[in-house]
């Protein structure tokens, strides 16, 4: 059987007939294996033709040439010689074939590689077709009609295909027949008729379709030919899961990608890491590219899922090396939607809802606090005053700052911890209820797409209004996008993308110590009976209530919210213009220019109504004005050529150049002593404003090339190289070269694998490459930013000339002209497996990532005049496994799809300079983290708690501090010298989890869909540093209810973990120790979304393209042992202090209701 071949005769004819028979009897199985072509593209082609009395096979020849398809049929079929009139005008291929073969006794089936098989319908089957007529509509899960879907009566060759509107008509033998629906790129589906004459079907896309296109650096590639570790995000699933920040929607979706929501503050973009930490002092976040424009994580968070077409993540060095020095931490490629020829399509997606804090901490109530505070004061008094008795009145106790006193009715009659009746009547303020609220959220997204053959456009506009769960915090975000593509000439296409945005955020000081007006810690530390307001209506403070008892002056958390005003305005403009010229169909040149312009401004003001605390000197109102602006220019030119030799050797060559320039400047002014709080601008400040400013410029120039080769899409090879030059390095080390190579073998394309029908795809991959990193910002000794460590910094200083002070300049940091790039070398081994026609897809990757030449500050001889300088001396590794699986479990009327991923990463520091000295880092209370050879970066550092000293005998038989008493914390004597001191600090855990995971399940029945996403981490620790203030057992502020399990006496030892209450801490109880290191494991129901799509016939009647109503819950519930609000803690962006929680803004549980409609 061969199209347009001479008549087949002789011994070959029986084989051909046998093949034809097998083909007809097994046509539905053949369709299942033909998942290598994009059917939508093929059947969406339009053709025009007209014939009068021409043979059918002649018409097929013409269609074949016009539509660039291949027909396969038996040349001797008599019906092919039938002469007929036939005419179509601008008709789709599917419609033309349906019309052509309607009364011919022939039918067609689409195969792979644009192949269409035409075969006769059995006579007996054709005779039975008149019994029952079935009609219906076939759509995808977005209610879009699918043209060219094959519909068969199961077990026969009787069938038809859908037309351009996705509709079909089929005569069946019985109303109890089973119909089989098959379509390229979608899971096959069986539907029993059960007496129905109208049958509408929704097909489910199979994301493992090997002809899917993934975005790679400066181009695209078929998924079947990918040899690197590249992952794609299922965007439809993301669009059906409304999130206020698109980055949050990536959480748990991609193996090897950590998306950490370390703050629930409105407008806050999560921290993203790909395959661990890639540096100590340079950037550790992936490069984010939106339509060719390099953007910050904050700008990425401005995007709405509705305007995004694709998100692809380049994880290994082979895929990311084409980006050179920018791609060392992975690359996230975002492609926004573009217009298509056709009538204008309008879309509107609106949702509204509310947010609530996901948990509240269990704190002592007023009665519990009274007993606790009394216990702490008495223990301190008994420890430190000889002959002291618990019954001694406050007047007999020292009044200095030793916390020996407690309320006994001597200040206020109601404030008496000795009187049970007064204690029972104490007021009880839950300050968490006072700072948190139920906050509304609303989002409006409008889009318009369409165009002609020469001009296509996609326009979208959005508005997001989000109030925060901490009072006063808000965010308003306005976005606009316009993507236009113009075919200016047959070989020339030009386009422009414009994306302005404006965001204004009302910030609150959620994090940090209460003495710095940190809201969270102030609310948790405030004693529960302290009133919010005084009798005169002014803000109360703990100082006014408890100063005679030496309690700390914890700031008023409500005042910290209401009397601090900090609007932060962000204006951003992303723009791109390109021109693409095709010299030949397979040779094209593309030039694009990108500009990223931003301007941010913060005007912060703390009013004079803010009550002061006793730890800080009195200050008046304070105003700050901060502004920054920057512009980044990026121009690249790419020449690409692809060619195929004998249809087996396929080659694509790409070469290009890129240049980038960044200009940045910022300034900040501070003033105080304002006359009043009405005029809050700095010109009203009584004290002269202090002003600081800085400016920075850098530039890069790059040259790159890539060669992709495959033999029969079976043996795959990719080689790339990029050479970057950066102005941040000295003249001798300004350029770095970053090569990469990857190879793949599609084993299932080998002849010996053809007899394994269960295995539809098996591809082995290997890659190795180098990438660099120059995104450093090393802090110098004077805390200024060191953007050019090769040259050092120059700062202002004072000189004395003849007893007169003169201001001048001096070198503030020592430069090192020998500095060069940080370099990443990465090996990746992977396998892609498809089972049961890719209904089950599995991806496994192993990677070994070595980062060398880390930039670190090291000690230098004092004769230089400096103590430290920056050198390339560090080394660190990340190794891990990644697993991803996608399964189409059920594909009938009820569908169920599952995707899951699991990732392991092991980080280890291998070298730290010539001496290998560890790096100690702090976060709020001194040294909390250590980076040392042989351990993960930023491990926790402190004392290791063994328990509590139960009694005097226990104390005398174990090493201890000279102030330690029974009931104090027992620490390990790490160096075995018999005493507990700073030399006994050691590793007490690290924040890096054993593994991370995510799972998504999508169910649908008819027009109802349900999506459930879960994600979490196992292992990894958190240093809950906030407990140093609300779990310190000192009695000066409120504590967790853990204090109820404290040591009280040898007879009441508590749980053996919580020390005694003591107003004057002894035994170094509140040193950073394993006591505050907690398990960071958690499992979260990240999202549940329930939707209903109006059936297509209904939307047609009301003249809508689609309509879906939905409800969603984000962050429904989290299972965790962690005591604070959020196991995804702050400081994750800082690799040296990761995993330290210092009062981070809690996450919100968000409930939304929405409607998505298309016109």
Q: Which of 9-18, 62-71, 225-234, 740-749 has the lowest mean pLDDT?
A: 9-18
* CA distances to 436, 732, 1115, 1126 from 1024, in Å: 21, 46, 21, 10
Do 982 and 942 touch, CB atoms closer than 8 A? no
Q: What is the pLDDT of residue 966?
A: 96
Provide the pLDDT for residue 44: 54
In a domain, 1097, yes or no: no
The whole-chain average pLDDT of the chain stands at: 85
Question: Contact 849/278 with Cβ under 8 angstroms?
Answer: yes
Which pLDDT value is given to residue 1?
Answer: 40
Q: Does 121 map to a domain?
A: yes
Average the pLDDT over 375-390 and give the result. 93
Q: Are 932 and 1136 in contact (CB under 8 A)?
A: no
207 close to 886: Cβ distance less than 8 angstroms: yes
Would you say residue 31 has pLDDT above 50? no
Tally of domains in the chain:
1
Please give the Cα distance from 455 to 357 (Å, whole number).
48
Any domain includes 74: yes
Condensed to tens digits (0 to 9), the pLDDT of residues 291-305 reads 988 888 888 888 888
What backbone torsions phi and psi does residue 18 show, to the nearest 5 degrees? -60, -40
Q: Does pLDDT of 500 surpass 90?
A: yes
Asked if residue 5 has pLDDT above 70, the reply is: no
User: Looking at the predicted structure, is the pLDDT value of residue 1070 above 60?
Assistant: yes
What does DSSP assign to residue 269? P
Q: Are 908 and 934 in contact (CB under 8 A)?
A: yes
- What is each CA distance from 380 to 288, 390, 401, 962, in whole angstroms? 56, 10, 11, 16
pLDDT tens by residue, 920-936: 888 667 889 999 999 99
Picking from 720, 847, 722, 824, the residue whose alpha carbon sits closest to that of residue 771 is 824
Domain membership of residue 142 (yes or no) is yes
The per-residue pLDDT for range 642-701, each reduced to its tens digit, is 999 988 999 999 999 999 999 999 999 998 888 888 888 888 888 777 888 888 888 999
* Whole-angstrom distance, CA of residue 1076 vs CA of residue 698: 43
Q: How far is CA 341 from CA 346, 453, 456, in A?
A: 14, 5, 6
What is the distance between the alpha carbons of residues 172 and 174, in angstroms, rounded to a whole number?
Answer: 6
Using a pLDDT cut of 90, give the percent of the chain over it.
47
Would the pLDDT of 130 be above 70?
no
Both tokens assigned to 127 = 């005779």
Which of 191-205, 341-355, 875-889, 966-980 is the least confident region? 191-205
Q: How far, rounded to the nearest angstrom, does the alpha carbon of residue 1140 sit from its chain's CA centroid? A: 20
> Residue 633 CB: number of other CB atoms within 10 A?
15
Other beta carbons less than 10 A from residue 1077's beta carbon: 22
pLDDT at 923: 65
Domain coverage including residue 109 = 12-202
Residue 259 and residue 246: Cα distance in Å, rounded?
11
Does 44 fall in a domain?
Answer: yes
CA 1004/CA 1014 separation, integer angstroms: 18
How many Cα atoms within 13 Å fall on the side-chain side of residue 203?
28
Contact 143, 1093 (CB under 8 A): yes
* Mean predicted confidence (pLDDT) in 900-904: 96
Q: What is the pLDDT of residues 553-567, one digit of tens each?
A: 788 899 999 999 999
pLDDT of residue 743: 96
Torsion sign (Cα): 22, 25, 29, 30: positive
Q: At what angle do helices 93-100 and 56-67 cross, to 10 degrees?
A: 180
Cβ(226)–Cβ(843) under 8 Å? no
Residue 140 has pLDDT above 70, yes or no: yes
482-518 burial string, b = 16+ CB within 10 Å, else e?
bbbbbbeeeeebebebbbebebbbbbbbbbbbbbebb
Q: State the pLDDT confidence band at 465, using cuts at 50, 70 and 90.
A: very high
pLDDT reading at 119 higher than 50? yes
Q: Which two tokens stand for residue 207?
A: 């994301």
Q: Which of 224-233, 244-253, 510-519 has the lowest average pLDDT? A: 510-519
Q: Does 1012 map to a domain? A: no
Highest mean pLDDT among 17-26, 95-104, 183-192, 374-383: 374-383
DSSP character string of 1025-1055: TTHHHHSS--SSS--BGGGGG---BTTB-TT
Q: State how far the Cα of 412 lies from the Cα of 416, in Å rounded to an integer.
A: 8
Residue 7 pLDDT level (bands cut at 50, 70, 90): very low
Predicted local distance difference test score (pLDDT) of residue 43: 55
Whether 101 maps to a domain, the answer reads yes
pLDDT at 239: 83
What's the CATH number where 103 sits? 3.55.50.30
The Cα–Cα gap between 853 and 850 comes to 10
Residue 321 vs residue 978, higher pLDDT: 978
Nearest-angstrom CA–CA distance, 100 and 79: 12
Running DSSP on this structure, what letter comes out for residue 416?
Answer: B
CB distance 47 to 93 below 8 Å: yes
Q: What is the pLDDT of residue 550?
A: 77
**Among 559, 525, 510, 554, which Cα is nearest to 539's?**
559
Distance CA 315, CA 330 (A): 5
The whole-number pLDDT of residue 18 equals 37
Query: Using CB atoms within 10 A of its CB, is residue 634 exposed (0-12), middle (13-18) or buried (19+)?
Result: buried
Q: How many angstroms separate the CA atoms of 30 and 49, rounded?
A: 30
User: Can you tell me the mean pLDDT for 205-211?
Assistant: 57
User: What's the whole-number mean pLDDT along residues 818-847?
Assistant: 91
Query: Model confidence over 578-619: pLDDT tens digits?
Result: 999 999 989 999 999 999 999 999 999 988 887 765 444 455
- Of residues 102 and 1016, more confidence is placed in 1016
Q: Which residues contact 585 (CB under 8 A, 6 or more apart)?
A: none
653: buried, middle or exposed (CB in 10 Å: 19+, 13-18, 0-12)?
middle
pLDDT value, residue 81: 78
Mean pLDDT over 276-283 rounds to 82
How far apart are the C-alpha atoms of 406 and 118, rounded to whole Å? 95
Q: Report the helix count and the strand count for the chain, using DSSP H and E.
A: 18, 57
Mean pLDDT of 233-261: 87
Give 280's DSSP letter: S
How much is the pLDDT for 786? 54
Residues 6+ apart with CB under 8 A from 615: 515, 552, 553
Angstrom distance (rounded) from CA 269 to CA 245: 7
CA 807 – CA 798 distance, rounded (Å): 4
941, with CB counted inside 10 A (0-12, 13-18, 19+), is buried
pLDDT surpasses 70 at 15: no
* Within a domain: 94: yes
Asked which of 132-146, 765-779, 877-891 is least confident by mean pLDDT, the reply is 765-779
Predicted pLDDT of residue 594: 94
Q: What angle do CA 589, 592, 598 make, to 5 degrees?
A: 170
C-alpha to C-alpha distance for 156 and 906, rounded to whole angstroms:
55
User: H or E stretch including 184?
Assistant: none
pLDDT digits (tens, 9 = 90+) for 391-431: 999 989 988 767 898 998 887 888 899 999 999 999 999 99
- Can you tell me whether residue 378 is helix, strand or coil? helix
CA angle 1085, 1090, 1091 (to 5 degrees): 150
- Give the separation between CA 104 and CA 107, rounded to whole angstroms: 8
Rounded to an integer, the average pLDDT of 884-892 is 89
Q: Of residues 1043 and 81, which shows the higher confidence score?
A: 1043
The label of the residue with tokens 């007006």 reads 517
Predicted confidence at residue 33, as pLDDT, reads 33
Higher pLDDT, 865 or 602: 602
Question: What is the average per-residue pLDDT within 167-195?
Answer: 83
Torsion of CA 398, 402, 408, 411, to 10 degrees: 80
Whether residue 854 has pLDDT greater than 80: yes
Contact 182, 168 (CB under 8 A): no
The torsion angle over the Cα atoms of residues 402, 405, 406 and 410, rounded to 10 degrees, is: -140
Residues 6+ apart with CB under 8 A from 874: 280, 851, 853, 854, 855, 856, 909, 911, 912, 913
């Amino acid at each position: 059987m061969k199209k347009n071949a001479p008549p087949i005769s002789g011994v070959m004819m029986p084989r051909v007939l046998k093949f034809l028979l097998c083909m007809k009897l097994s046509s539905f199985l053949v369709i299942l294996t033909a998942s290598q072509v994009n059917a939508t593209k093929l059947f969406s082609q339009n053709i025009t033709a007209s014939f009068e009395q021409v043979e059918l096979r002649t018409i097929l020849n013409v269609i074949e040439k016009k539509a660039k398809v291949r027909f396969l049929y038996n040349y001797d079929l008599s019906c092919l010689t039938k002469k007929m009139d036939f005419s179509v005008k601008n008709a789709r291929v599917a419609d033309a074939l349906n019309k052509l073969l309607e009364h011919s006794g022939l039918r067609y089936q689409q195969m792979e590689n644009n192949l269409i098989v035409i075969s006769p319908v059995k006579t007996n089957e054709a005779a039975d077709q008149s019994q029952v007529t079935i009609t219906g509509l076939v759509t995808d899960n977005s209610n879009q009609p699918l043209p060219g879907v094959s519909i068969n009566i199961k077990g026969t060759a009787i069938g038809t295909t859908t037309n351009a509107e996705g509709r079909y008509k089929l005569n069946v033998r019985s109303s109890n027949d089973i119909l089989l629906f098959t379509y390229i790129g979608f899971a096959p589906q069986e539907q029993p008729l059960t007496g129905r004459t109208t049958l509408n079907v929704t097909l489910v896309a199979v994301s493992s379709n090997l002809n899917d296109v993934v975005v790679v650096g400066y181009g695209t590639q078929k998924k079947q030919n990918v040899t690197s570790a590249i992952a794609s995000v299922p965007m439809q699933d993301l669009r059906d899961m409304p999130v206020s920040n698109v980055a949050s929607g990536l959480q748990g979706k991609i193996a090897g990608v950590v998306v950490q929501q370390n703050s629930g503050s409105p407008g806050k973009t999560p921290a993203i890491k790909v395959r661990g930490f890639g540096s100590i002092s340079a950037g550790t976040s992936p490069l984010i590219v939106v339509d060719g424009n390099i953007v910050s994580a904050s700008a990425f968070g401005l995007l709405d899922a509705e305007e995004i077409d694709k998100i692809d993540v380049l994880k290994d060095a082979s895929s990311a090396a084409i980006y050179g020095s920018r791609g060392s931490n992975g690359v996230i490629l975002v492609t926004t939607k573009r217009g298509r020829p056709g009538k204008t399509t309008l879309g509107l997606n609106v949702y509204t809802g509310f947010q609530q804090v996901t948990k509240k901490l269990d704190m002592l109530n007023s009665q519990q606090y009274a007993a606790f505070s009394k216990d702490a004061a008495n223990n301190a008094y008994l420890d430190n005053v000889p002959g002291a008795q618990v019954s001694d009145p406050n007047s007999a106790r020292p009044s200095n700052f030793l916390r020996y006193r407690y309320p006994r009715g001597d200040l206020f009659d109601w404030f008496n911890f000795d009187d049970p009746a007064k204690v029972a009547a104490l007021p009880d303020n839950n300050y968490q209820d006072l700072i948190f609220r139920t906050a509304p959220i609303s989002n409006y997204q409008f889009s318009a797409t369409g165009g002609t053959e020469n001009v296509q456009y996609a326009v979208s506009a959005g508005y997001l209004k989000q109030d925060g769960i901490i009072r006063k915090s808000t965010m308003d975000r306005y976005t606009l996008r316009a993507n236009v593509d113009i075919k200016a000439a047959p070989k020339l296409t030009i386009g422009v993308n414009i994306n302005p945005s404006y965001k204004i955020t009302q910030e609150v000081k959620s994090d940090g110590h209460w003495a710095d007006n940190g809201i969270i810690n102030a609310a948790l530390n405030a004693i529960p009976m302290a009133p919010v307001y005084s009798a005169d209506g002014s803000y109360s403070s703990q100082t006014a209530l408890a100063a005679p008892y030496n309690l700390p002056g914890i700031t008023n958390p409500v005042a910290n919210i209401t009397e601090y005003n900090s609007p932060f305005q962000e204006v951003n403009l992303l723009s791109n213009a390109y021109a693409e010229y095709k010299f030949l169909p397979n040779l094209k040149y593309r030039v694009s220019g990108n500009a990223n312009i931003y301007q941010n401004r913060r005007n912060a003001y703390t009013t004079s109504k803010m009550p002061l605390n006793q730890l800080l000197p009195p200050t008046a109102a304070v105003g700050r004005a901060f502004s920054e602006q920057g512009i980044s220019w990026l121009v690249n030119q790419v020449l690409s050529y692809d060619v195929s030799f004998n249809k087996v050797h396929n080659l694509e060559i790409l070469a290009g150049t890129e240049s980038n320039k960044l200009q940045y400047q910022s300034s900040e002014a501070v003033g105080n002593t304002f006359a009043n709080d009405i005029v809050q601008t700095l010109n009203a400040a009584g004290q002269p404003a202090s002003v600081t400013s800085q400016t920075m410029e850098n530039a890069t120039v790059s040259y790159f090339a890539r060669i992709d080769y495959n033999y029969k899409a079976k043996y795959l090879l990719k080689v790339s190289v990029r050479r970057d030059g950066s102005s941040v390095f000295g003249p001798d080390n300004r350029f770095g070269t970053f090569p990469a190579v990857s190879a793949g073998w599609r084993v299932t394309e080998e002849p010996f694998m053809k007899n394994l029908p269960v295995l539809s795809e098996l591809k082995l991959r290997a890659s190795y490459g180098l990438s660099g990193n120059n995104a450093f910002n090393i802090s110098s000794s004077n805390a200024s930013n060191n953007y050019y460590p090769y040259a050092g910094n120059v700062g202002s200083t004072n000189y004395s000339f003849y007893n007169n002070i003169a201001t001048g300049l001096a070198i503030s940091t020592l430069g090192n002209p020998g500095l060069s790039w940080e370099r990443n070398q990465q090996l990746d081994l992977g396998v892609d497996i498809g089972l049961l026609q890719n209904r089950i897809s599995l991806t496994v990757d192993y990677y070994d990532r070595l980062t060398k030449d880390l930039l670190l500050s090291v000690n230098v001889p004092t004769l230089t005049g400096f103590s430290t300088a920056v050198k390339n001396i560090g080394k660190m590794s990340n190794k891990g496994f990644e697993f991803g699986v996608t399964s189409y479990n059920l594909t009938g009327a009820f569908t169920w799809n599952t995707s899951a991923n699991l990732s392991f990463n092991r980080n280890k520091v291998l070298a730290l300079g010539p001496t290998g000295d560890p790096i100690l880092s702090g976060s709020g209370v001194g040294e909390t983290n250590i980076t040392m050879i042989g351990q993960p970066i930023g491990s926790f550092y402190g004392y290791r708690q063994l328990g509590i000293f139960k009694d005097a005998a226990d104390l005398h038989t174990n090493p201890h501090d000279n102030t330690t008493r029974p009931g104090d914390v027992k620490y390990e004597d790490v160096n075995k010298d018999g005493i507990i001191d700073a030399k006994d600090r050691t590793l007490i855990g690290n924040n890096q989890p054993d593994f991370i995971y995510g799972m998504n399940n999508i169910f649908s029945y008819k027009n109802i869909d349900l999506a459930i996403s879960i994600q979490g981490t196992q292992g990894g620790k958190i240093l809950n540093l906030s407990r140093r203030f609300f779990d310190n057992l000192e009695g000066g502020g409120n504590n967790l209810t853990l204090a109820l399990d404290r040591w009280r006496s040898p007879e009441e030892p508590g749980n053996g973990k919580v020390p005694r209450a003591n107003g004057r801490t002894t035994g170094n109880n509140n040193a950073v120790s394993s006591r505050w290191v907690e398990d960071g494991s958690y499992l979260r129901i990240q999202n549940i979304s329930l939707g209903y799509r109006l059936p297509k016939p209904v939307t047609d009647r009301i003249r809508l393209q689609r309509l879906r109503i939905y409800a969603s819950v984000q962050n429904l519930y989290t299972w965790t042992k962690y005591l604070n609000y959020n196991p995804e803690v702050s400081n994750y962006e800082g690799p040296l202090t990761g995993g330290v929680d210092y009062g981070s803004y809690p996450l919100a549980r968000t409930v939304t209701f929405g409607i998505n409609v298309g016109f």
